[in-house]
């Protein structure tokens, strides 16, 4: 972590949050490597296994907070591994539905038995977990707002041309 004498009061928690996230992410990567999965693969398997509706790569990307092309490429690789299968929607031919294969369901069940890293917050009290969840929700909303401010939509130029 960077020396705190050069960080502002807003930057210190950012560094702490980043360091904590990276440490826990690494623990989860090690845990999942034992069952042959990556964190994004485990995420896709989780959403497919727990969703009550059919999911498209676009819906998966929104659920996971990732770019659609990133999830699309991951789905293609997971399909090649036999973890998921894609089928074209009968009503909307350009839509692809993603579903678990038997091998994918087995991989999901196996990774659910390795949860030490995911349960890292067990060292917190219920009140601390509630407070952490509240803070994370607030920071996620702020981050989403920052992304919207910094990343223009594909139509930004068209809209500004129409207004001026």
Q: What is the pLDDT of residues 59-82, one digit of tens each?
A: 999 999 888 899 999 999 999 999
pLDDT score, position 54: 85
Query: Which residue range is the domain that position 157 belongs to?
Result: 124-164
108 and 132, same domain (yes or no): no
Domain with 92 in it: what CATH number? 1.10.10.10
115 and 161, same domain (yes or no): no
Cβ atoms of residues 110 and 35 within 8 Å: yes
36 and 104, same domain (yes or no): yes
73 and 117, same domain (yes or no): yes
Q: 39-50 vs 57-64: helix axis angle to the nearest 10?
A: 110
140 and 69, same domain (yes or no): no
> How many domains is the chain built from?
2
81 and 149, same domain (yes or no): no
56 and 67, same domain (yes or no): yes
Q: What is the dihedral of CA 127, 113, 77, 27, to 10 degrees?
A: 50
15 and 28, same domain (yes or no): yes
137 and 117, same domain (yes or no): no
> Can you give the pTM of this predicted structure?
0.78
Which pLDDT band holds residue 157 (cuts at 50, 70, 90)?
A: low
112 and 128, same domain (yes or no): no
Residue ranges of alpha helices (H) inside 2-155 are: 11-33, 39-50, 57-64, 68-80, 102-111, 126-150
43 and 88, same domain (yes or no): yes
Which residues, in sequence order, are bridge partners of residue 55? 98
């Amino acid at each position: 972590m960077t020396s705190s004498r050069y960080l502002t009061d807003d930057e210190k928690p950012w560094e702490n949050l980043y360091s904590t996230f990276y440490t826990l992410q690494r623990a989860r990567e090690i845990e999942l490597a034992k069952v042959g999965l990556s964190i994004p693969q485990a995420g896709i398997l989780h959403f497919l296994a727990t969703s009550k509706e059919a999911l498209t790569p676009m819906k998966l990307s929104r659920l996971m907070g990732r770019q659609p092309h990133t999830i699309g490429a991951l789905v293609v690789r997971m399909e090649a591994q036999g973890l998921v299968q894609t089928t074209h929607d009968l009503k909307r031919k350009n839509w692809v539905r993603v579903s678990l294969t038997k091998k994918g369901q087995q991989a999901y069940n196996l990774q659910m038995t390795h949860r030490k890293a995911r349960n890292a917050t067990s060292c917190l009290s219920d009140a601390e977990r509630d407070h952490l969840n509240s803070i994370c929700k607030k920071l996620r909303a702020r981050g989403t707002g920052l992304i919207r401010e910094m990343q223009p939509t594909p139509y930004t130029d068209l809209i500004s041309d129409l207004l001026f």
